[in-house]
Structure 1
């Protein structure tokens, strides 16, 4: 992947993409090694169980999330975070509506294919 974001990204100007199912995503910065993404969940929205080759760290900015990582379910609230190793199945349900900050290494190439 040869794409890279600008050095400075304005949260008020960066595009917010509606993914459907009550999810929206905003790219906060990336290069081939690292990516940060802001994800909005509507009340009751679900990030379906999936897996990928990337290491992921997620920070809960707002709301309550029921995370499933490798079959273990924990409730995470603002200020909490989780580590998702490569190829481990994971997903989350947000009963309250909320916001996550996801980081990926390497960057998620599939997020840039539009």
Structure 2
């Protein structure tokens, strides 16, 4: 309930119903947790894009659906969270993950064209 800056590893461990040492066995710090969650969301959005692009509709419709389901929906989900704006402001720490996401999204679109 505090936002990223004020949340501690102890807060996260308590919310996950685990000990802080057990949490540290999985994650080095809360930035690692943030990156793991971001990676999960990005991976899920790529799967949604891939599914949308594999449909039977005309290419333009499949592409728009892929963009909506993979990008717009993901952004909407983050914005809807209580601290979404704060999390989006931290996206520079995810530059490598976002770059990889963009490349893979482009690959999926290119494959759908062929």
Q: Which structure: larger Rg?
A: 2
Between Structure 1 and Structure 2, the one with more helix by share is 2
The reply to whether TM is greater than 0.5 is no
TM-score (norm 2): 0.21
Between Structure 1 and Structure 2, the one with more strand by share is 1
